[in-house]
Structure 1
Amino acid sequence: MTGKKTQPLKSTDCLIIGAGPAGLTAAIYLARFRRSIAIVDSGFSRASLIPASHNCPGFPEGVSGEELLRLLRVQGTHFGVEVKTGEVTELKKIEQRFEATLDRRPGNGDGSPATLRATTILLATGTVDSIRNIPDWTMGVKRGLIRLCPICDAYEAKDQDMAVLSSSARRGVNHALFLRIYTRTLTLILSETTLAAVDQRRLRRAKIDVVEDTPREISITGRARPTIVLSNGRELQFDVIYPMLGESPRSGLATQLGARCNRDGKLIVDRYQRTTVPGLYAAGDVVDQLNQISVAMGHSAIAATDIHNRLDRLPKR
């Protein structure tokens, strides 16, 4: 039995993995530096879920995640940026270059695996939200009923009845206290954990209701308000639910090469966005910094400039 034949491709200066705000920004910078690049995306960006961002600079009326991504892609085409659809399944470092195995989607070439070679790599792979027990949660996000980022959108939910879901006391308490400035009616629902006495006092002083229970069901169907059904059958209704249940950074490709992560799996980088593997950079939500579009774009500007300068210092081949 034989598998599909891997097709080698020529080497580029930089392979960018991920075409969200971070990856597309880096592609624009590097293309304008007249560097050869390849940018690969698996077809889903977390940013695409955003119904409207009102803290992204330059958009006074707000901008949806899908529209922002579209505009970045259009901007990239002015400099020859073309996004390949597929998933990088493996990274290797051979001497001073990287080799990536790309599993291409049907309709993109002949669908056979390809080998991409690059002098540098920028990981802009983002993170995956840990959402449990919420059917159709992505639709809830697009409708503004489920919200994932208090910094991004709590202002738009101000004065509404809010619930924070968490299975971590530390994370749940911190998010609840942050959100308290936006609303008078806030409930923290904690599952699989208990509160320390000091946290109970902090929440009591902030007048935040606490429910220690594992919800049986969370419903966001129809026009009704989101409903949380507790284990005893009691129903609680809210205007907005923040499921702060953690996230899973897409850092596996970097850790294959020995890159260091923090305890949450986020990549550790220096001030130039360099990981602990020479030539491997990371930007955006996959790194151990603030998850914001503006931050991701800043990361990529720094990383792309350092990649450009690094390439100048390398011996010519």
Structure 2
Amino acid sequence: MDGDERELDCAVIGGGPAGLTAALYLARYQLKVTVFDDGLSRAAAIPFSHNVPGFPEGIRGVDMLSRMRDHALRYGAHIAKTFVTGVSRIGSRFLVSVQGRQIEARAVMMATGVTDRRPKMPVALHDAAVSEGLLRYCPICDGYEVSDRKIAIIGAGSHAYSEALFLRSFTRDLWLVSPEGDFDLSKREISSLKQLGVQLVAGPMIDITLSGKSIRIAGAGGVFDYDAAYPALGCDNRSGLAKMVGAELTSDGCIKVDKHLRSTIPYLYAAGDTVAGLNQISSAVGQAAIAATAIRNDLSKQVLLCR
């Protein structure tokens, strides 16, 4: 690990856009901050994004994260590429457990994000499909790129229904593929989709392969090629560390925060996808700026920060 991390002003857990933005702000506030990055940021899997402000030609996720790391490092933040295995509270301090040791911090910011639920397919094939833009996880990010193309949504229930309504504004050639068999939709929802021209393909889904520039989905309803597919299977919030230290979570596992991104535990903050809201780079960056400023202001009440 870089630097003396035994006594931090703030430990930032998560090296995605939220965590790195918070580190930049905290470092420029002249606080001692380390980002603990386990390398699992969802942003790293973005093959090319065109909705990050300031990059009209688009930018790869790994390149964006590299730029953000360099920016934070320039102002004195440290980045430790390691897993955090635990967080505990001792008096007014936190103990962050990494690599068999504990690091003390006055404050902790959780930027741990979420994990997408993937369709059943080999990891290498999945990653290749994502890299080629044939498997996509965020219609908010890239619905524009699939305009007027043949698109499949893999999923069932209310989440898949909402995603179908959202994507229908980009293309008429939209298909909802049930992965297990039942669409788990009401008669009203099914009627609504049919009125919109959404094709319903009953499962179970048997296989997913790549065929040239298409993604091929085989199932009980037949074999079809699509220009791209969106898994609408939900995601799992990586809020376990916050729960470990006693923070209150929402019903869907997000870390509960106030308008300044403070959790229910004093000096524990959260920003990005692990907080309820729009899972977007821009909103994560904004939340991180708010959280970092709250951290600076809250810590200044403990010890005068004037030079």
Determine the structure 2 residue equivalent to 1:273. 261
Quote the Cα distance in structure 1 between the aligned partners of 2:185 and 2:237.
Answer: 27
- In the alignment, structure 1 residue 128 sits paired with structure 2 residue 115: yes
Separation of aligned partners in 1, 2:220 and 2:214: 19
Number of equivalenced pairs: 298
Q: Among residues 134, 145, 150, which one is paired with 2:139 in the alignment?
A: 150
Match of 1:37 in 2: 33
Tell me, yes or no, if structure 1 residue 203 matches structure 2 residue 199: no
- 3-state SS of the aligned residue for 1:182? coil
Q: State whether residues 33 and 78 of structure 2, in contact with CA within 8 Å, keep that contact through their aligned partners in structure 1.
A: no
Q: Is the 8 A contact 2:202 2:220 kept in 1?
A: no
1:75-134 deviation digits (Å, cap 9, x = unpaired): 11220223101100111000111001113xxxxxxxxx2211101000111111100312
Q: State the partner residue of 2:70.
A: 74
**Is contact 1:267–1:287 with CA below 8 Å preserved after alignment?**
yes
Which digits, 9 at most, give the CA deviation of each residue in 1:263-313, with x for residues without a partner?
A: 221111111111111111111011111100000000100000000000011
Residue equivalent to 2:288 = 300
Report the equivalent of 2:8. Answer: 12
Aligned residue for 2:84, secondary structure, equals strand
How has the CA–CA distance of structure 1 residues 225 and 9 changed in structure 2, closer, same or farther, with 3 Å as cutoff?
closer
2: CA distance between counterparts of 1:217 and 1:144? 18
- CA distances 1:25-49 after superposition (whole Å, capped 9, x unpaired): 0000000000011111112321011
Q: Per-residue deviation at 1:9?
A: 5.3
CA contact (8 A) 2:213 2:227 kept: no
Q: Does 1:92 align with 2:80?
A: no
Would you say 1:262 and 2:250 are equivalent positions?
A: yes
Cα RMSD for the two superposed structures: 1.6
* Structure 1 residues 177 and 9: alpha-carbon distance in aligned structure 2, compared to 1, 3 A threshold: closer
Instruction: Confirm or deny that 1:116 pairs with 2:103.
Output: yes
Structure 1 residue ranges without an equivalent (≥5): 1-7, 104-112
Pair 1:172 & 2:168 matched: no
Distance of aligned partners of 1:299 and 1:209 in 2 relative to their CA distance in 1, 3 Å threshold: same
**Letter of the aligned partner of 1:162 in structure 2?**
I
TM-score of the aligned structures, taking structure 1 as reference length: 0.90
**C-alpha distance in structure 2 between counterparts of 1:214 and 1:181, whole Å:** 27
Tell me, in whole angstroms, the C-alpha distance in 2 between the residues paired with 1:218 and 1:115: 44
Q: Is the 8 A contact 1:49 1:141 kept in 2?
A: yes
Q: Secondary structure at the match of 1:284?
A: coil
- Any conservation in 2 of the 1:172–1:190 contact (CA below 8 Å)? no
TM-score (norm 2): 0.93
- Is the contact made by 1:9 and 1:115 (CA closer than 8 Å) also made in structure 2? no
Percent of pairs identical after alignment? 39
Query: Equivalent residue of 1:27, what SS?
Result: helix
